[in-house]
Each structure stands twice: as C-alpha cells, then as structure tokens.
Amino acid sequence: MNRHLYVWLFRHPSLNVHPWCHSYVHSYQFKQLHLKTRLCVLGQNDNYILHYILSNWSRKYCHRDTRMIWKHKTFQKYMEDLTKEYQTLGQSLQEIPVDEADRRDMTQRHAELAPLAAIYQEIQKAEQAVEELESMCKSLNEQEEKQLQELALEERDTIDQKINTLYGELYESLLPKEKYDKNDVILEVTSGRTTGGDICQQFTREIFDMYQNYSCYKHWKFELLNYTPADYGGLHHAAARISGENVYKHLKYEGGIHRVQRIPEVGLSSRMQRIHTGTMSVIVLPQPDEVDVKVDHRDLRIDTFRAKGAGGQHVNTTDSAVRLVHIPTGLVVECQQERSQLKNKEIALRVLRARLYQQIIQKDQCQQQSARKLQVGTRAQSERIRTYNFTQDRVTDHRIAYEVRDIKEFLCGKKCLDQLIQRLLQSANKEAIVELLDENLNLKIQSSVFGRHELKHI
C-alpha cells in the first residue's frame, strides 16, 4: 500500500474509518518521521509535499470519486499556471521583440495553450455561477420563496452537467493524443489450456461472438482471418480484423486474460453442480499503416503446401494455405481464408505487420515506465482483467472494480459492454491526468531542492 496514505489518514482522523487501515496504523510513526525529514529538506516548500501526497492518494481513488481530481488544489494550480503562461506568452508576443526562432516556439506554445485556457475560463465562469446560485439559495429561507429556490437548484444542476462535459473536453485536450487510437485492429482470442478445457473453449466462442456483436453495434467492419473450432461448438483460437472509427481506442483495454466461473453443461461436474474456473486470452493489436512497419522480404520464409515436385503447369493443386515465418523474430502467421494463394499471403503479411507493430509499441511503453493500472502492453496482455461469474450472473472488471449484473446481456456485446468500455476510457483518462500532475510536481520539487542548494553555496 501507499505509505502516503497512512500519513494522510493520520492527518485526517475523521476519515479514519476504513476497516483495513488499522493494520497499518502502527507504521505511521515511522512514516511521519520520514515526512519530517523531507520537510526539513524543503523547509517552506512543504506545500508541494502536501500536493504530492494528495496527488498520489488521488490516483488510487480517482475512479471512486469523479470530481476528486479537478477539485484538487494541485490540478487547480496546474491549470492556473498554464493560464498564466498563456497570458504572459500572449503579452510578450505582442510587446517584446524577439528573434525569429524564439518567436516561432512561443507562437506554437501559445496556440497549444489557447484551447485549454478557453475551456478553463469557461469552467471558472460556470463554477462562479454555481457559487452565486448556492449563496442565493442560502438567503432564500422563507416559505413563499420555495419555488424560486427550486428553480435555482434546477439551474445549478444544468450548470453542473455543463461543467462535467467541459472537464471531459479539458482532459481530452490536456492529454497527449494516444498514437494508435485511430487505427484498425486485429483481435485474437485463444482459449486457456489449463483447467476445464471444455468451458474454456465454449467461453472463448462466447467472447469472440461478443466482440463480433460489438463491432456490429459500433458499425465497424468485422473480417474473419482465422477460425479454429474445438469439439462441441467451442473455439480454440480465432482472429479477426476490425476496421472503423477509433477502433483501437475502444478495444485497447480489452486485451488480457478473461476468467470464467461456471458449472459445465455436460459431464460429472454438471451433475455434481461443481463450479469450474477457466480462462481465455484476448490480444488486441493495432493495425499499422503500410509505412509504420517495413517488412524486409529477405527476412521472410514463406511456406506453401506445394513446395515439392515440378510445379507450374505440371501440377494442379487447390491448397492455397500460406504460412509466413518472420525469421528475425520467429513470429509465425498462417492464412487459408482465400482460394488465391497470393491473397492469403497478403492477409498473412498484414497480420504479421500488426504483430511486429505491437512489439514496437510494447518497447515504447516499457520505456515510459508508467505506473498506470490501465495500460496496454506486455503486462496488460498477461493480466487477469475481468471475471465472468455465471453462477452469480455477474461480470467484474478488476481494474476499475466495476460490476455488471446481467451476463447474458453483457455477452450480447451491446450497451452493457459499451458502458464498461466508456468507464475504462474515463478511468484511463483520469489516471493519465494524475500522472501528468505528478510529473509536473516532481519537476517542481526537483527544481526547488536544486534552487536551495544553489543558494547555500552562494
């Protein structure tokens, strides 16, 4: 657990009601010591420390209280800084003559900040309006003014909603655009092999169907690339290409291990009403453009199933299946969707390119060393993200502690799934904001420590 949390709980005894905090209380003395030492180092700058603590705290809780972050001092401060920067830039661009290169940089930064400042200003106006309404409500105590009070409350609710949407916009423009959000994807499902083989395969089919339905719900194009069924209507492995608007953005948090808990429909366990647990994994690969990943044909080994004999006019085979082996990485892709061997090769190459692209992205993200819970990459692909408990008719997403009651409806891949995905996107946005603030603060702390040292030397 986060050490800062104990400190925070200690400083706010009124909130000290969480059941599990007792077990950690004994450590607070040490933590306070730790805090004191840091306070000594920084002296008057303890303000920042407090922010730092709070921002770390808020990361853990941001999905519980949506308004937490933006009510937060750190965030307010950050926004004020940005607004101030915007204003100074605007002034200096007008007044002070600067050389060409500087001027270009400044203009660019100014343009970047403009929409942020505009939205923030609007938010502040709206918040002011809310405050005024609230103070007005307080002064209206008389019986006959009740109607007016109701009107005021109604008005406040509408403004509140507006503020909510404005903050959504603000997040969107604050956060760097995710590089691959607009890309199409290749979605692969594989059934788990460990326990309860049958239920894994059945579950894999249900999940694959769910994504097919979801693509239909979102008006995306769903092309089957590969389908290996298991006995009794299950599915071992399947892959599909999904193309449309912002497909990767919506599906990127679907990658990972999905767990199922249910009583099998046939066999001994069914008669004994024994609950089995199984898994399947989903991999979501953003589909690269031709230019993003170059595959050198010398690195490819292409296996077709007619490599023996004279070939050409001497033989007439219909087997058009193609297997591509990418020698440097050992990746293998197979395709037998088409009657034309050349078309199969093209499809296989497309899949291969997507896999190579995924590796590049993973490398990128490993370097970022992000602490976010919702992240796409190696870790997320092998992490258990969701449990489908059929006996309790419940779907739980472990990353944001979200529950859906009706499994059947959820597996239809329509509104229920879409709601969960929207929630995931919101949480991811919030986590990203917290990270942004954290980075900003770390920079400030570092610079302030550095500044003091310098002063001492002087």
Partner 1 sequence: MGPWARMLWTLLSGLRGRRGGIQGWAFGLWPPYLPQPRLLSPTELVSHWTRVFEKRGIPEARESSEYIVAHVLGAKTFQSLQPVLWTQPLTPQQLQCVQELCSCRLQRMPVQYILGEWDFQGLSLKMAPPVFIPRPETEELVEWVLEEMAQRPHVMEAQDGPRILEVGCGSGAISLSLLTQLPKSQVIAVDKEEAAISLTCENAQRLQLQDRIWIVPLDVTSEGSWMHLLPWGPMDLVVSNPPYIFHQDIEQLAPEICSYEDPVALDGGEEGMDVITSILTLAPQLLKHSGSIFLEVDPRHPELVSSWLQSQPDLHLNLVAVRRDFCGKPRFLHVQKSGP
Q: Which is nearer to partner 1, 337 or 389 (CB)?
A: 337
Q: Binding of partner 1 at residue 103 (CB under 8 A)?
A: no
Least distance in angstroms from the C-beta of 296 to partner 1: 16
Per CB under 8 A, contacts with partner 1 among 189-218 are 205
Contact 194, 279 (CB under 8 A): yes
Alpha-carbon torsion 47, 48, 53, 55, what sign? positive
* Helix (H/G/I), strand (E/B), else coil: 224: strand
Of 262, 257, 250, the residue nearest 283 (C-alpha): 257
Using CA atoms, how far apart are residues 154 and 208, in angstroms rounded to an integer?
A: 45
Report the residue number, 297 or 456, with the smaller CB distance to partner 1. 297
Rounded Cα distance between 458 and 455, Å, is 5
From the CB of 230, what's the least distance to partner 1, in Å?
A: 11
Residue the block writes with tokens 């509104």: 415
Question: Smallest gap, in angstroms, from Cβ of residue 314 to partner 1?
Answer: 6
If binding is defined by CB under 8 A, does position 336 make contact with partner 1? yes
Q: Are 171 and 141 within 8 A, CB to CB? A: no
In this chain, which stretch among 19-27, 70-78, 145-153, 299-307 interacts with partner 1, using CB under 8 A? 299-307
Residue 53 or 352: which CB sits closer to partner 1? Answer: 352
Does residue number 327 form part of the binding site for partner 1 (CB under 8 A)?
A: no
Residue 338 found at the interface with partner 1 (CB under 8 A): yes
Q: Is 320 in the site for partner 1 (CB under 8 A)?
A: yes
Considering only 58, 74, 190, 341, the residue that binds partner 1 (CB under 8 A) is 341
Which tokens go with 72? 């937060």
Q: How far is the CB of 28 from partner 1 (least distance, A)?
A: 58
Pairing mode of beta strands 331-335, 384-389: unpaired
CA–CA gap between residue 86 and residue 446 (Å, rounded) = 24
* Residue 296 in the binding site for partner 1 (CB under 8 A): no
Q: Cβ of 167: how many Cβ atoms within 10 Å?
A: 20
User: Is 312 a residue that touches partner 1 (CB under 8 A)?
Assistant: yes
Chain centroid to CA 216: 22
Choose among 285, 287, 292: nearest CA to 184: 287
CA distance 322 to 202: 28
Quote the CA–CA distance of 311 and 105 in Å, as a whole number: 63
Pull the structure tokens for residue 193: 């092999």
Task: Write down the least CB distance from residue 238 to partner 1, Å.
Answer: 8
| Distances, alpha carbon 308 to alpha carbons 302, 303, 312, in Å | 14, 11, 11
Provide, rounded to whole angstroms, the least separation between the CB of residue 75 and partner 1. 48
Q: How far is the CB of 235 from partner 1 (least distance, A)?
A: 8
> Cα dist. 309→313, 322, 324 in Å?
11, 18, 21
With binding defined as CB under 8 A, does residue 307 bind partner 1?
Answer: yes
Say if residues 259 and 277 touch (Cβ distance below 8 Å): yes
Of 3, 31, 103, 343, which one interacts with partner 1 (CB under 8 A)? 343
Asked whether 246 and 263 are in contact (CB, 8 A), the reply is no
C-alpha distances in Å from residue 348, one per residue of 81, 144, 331, 401, 416: 51, 75, 11, 38, 33
Least distance (Å) between residue 241 CB and partner 1 = 13
Which of 302, 325, 331, 436 touches partner 1 (CB under 8 A)?
302
Q: Site map for partner 1, 222-241, x if CB under 8 A?
A: --x-xx-x---x-x--x---
Instruction: Provide, rounded to whole angstroms, the least separation between the CB of residue 205 and partner 1.
Output: 8
Among 141, 340, 367, 369, binds partner 1 (CB under 8 A): 340
DSSP codes, 306-358: T-SSS-GGG-------EEEEETTTTEEEEE-SSSSHHHHHHHHHHHHHHHHHH
Choose one: 13-21, 31-39, 112-120, 221-229; the region binding partner 1 (CB under 8 A): 221-229
Does residue number 318 form part of the binding site for partner 1 (CB under 8 A)? yes
Q: Which is nearer to partner 1, 144 or 290 (CB)?
A: 290
Considering the rule CB under 8 A, would residue 451 count as an interface residue with partner 1?
no
Q: Contact with partner 1 (CB under 8 A): which of 135, 270, 317, 447?
A: 317
Q: Least Å distance between CB 209 and partner 1? A: 8
Which residue's CB is nearer to partner 1, number 291 or number 310? 310
223: β partners: 241
Q: Find the binder of partner 1 among 22, 138, 339, 453 (CB under 8 A).
A: 339
Nearest approach in angstroms of CB 229 to partner 1 is 6
With binding defined as CB under 8 A, does residue 319 bind partner 1?
yes
| Segment contacting partner 1 by CB under 8 A, of 147-155, 193-201, 219-227, 354-362 | 219-227
In the complex, minimum distance from the CB of residue 221 to partner 1, in angstroms, rounded to a whole number: 15
Q: Which residues bind partner 1 (CB under 8 A)?
A: 205, 224, 226-227, 229, 233, 235, 238, 302, 304, 306-307, 310-320, 336-343
